[in-house]
Amino acid sequence: MEYSYPFSIEWSTDEIIDVVSFFEGIEMAYEKGINRQDMFTRYKKFKDVVPSISEEKTYFREFEEESGYASFPVIKDMKAKGDGDLIKVQKK
């Protein structure tokens, strides 16, 4: 699949890497599964870059429009699972 990841030109290179890593984790959750702790770490770094919920929703929406992968079900599953669990989400 060819698509771009949402980001802001105001972010540093490290911040862009953290956001892209988060969205790669979302992809993994749909494609093969991702360890809950790994996803949690990626989400925490994403939230350090994008602390606002409204901004988060905007980036989630942009990513879903580009890729077809919804971020909210992955985050919901991540919060519901325990450490060591695998997050695997079905694409609708």
Is the pLDDT confidence value at 81 over 90?
no
The predicted structure's pLDDT at residue 2 = 77
**5-40 tens-digit pLDDT:** 999 999 999 999 999 999 999 999 999 999 999 999
Q: Please list the helix, strand and coil fractions of the chain in percent, rounded to the nearest 5, in that order.
A: 65, 5, 35
The predicted structure's pLDDT at residue 60 = 97
**Taking the model in full, what pTM does it have?**
0.92
Contact in structure between 38 and 25 (CB atoms under 8 Å): yes
Query: How far is residue 15's CA from residue 48's CA, in Å, rounded to a whole number?
Result: 9
The predicted structure's pLDDT at residue 90 = 87
What domains can be seen in the chain, in order of their start residue? 13-87 (1.10.220.80)
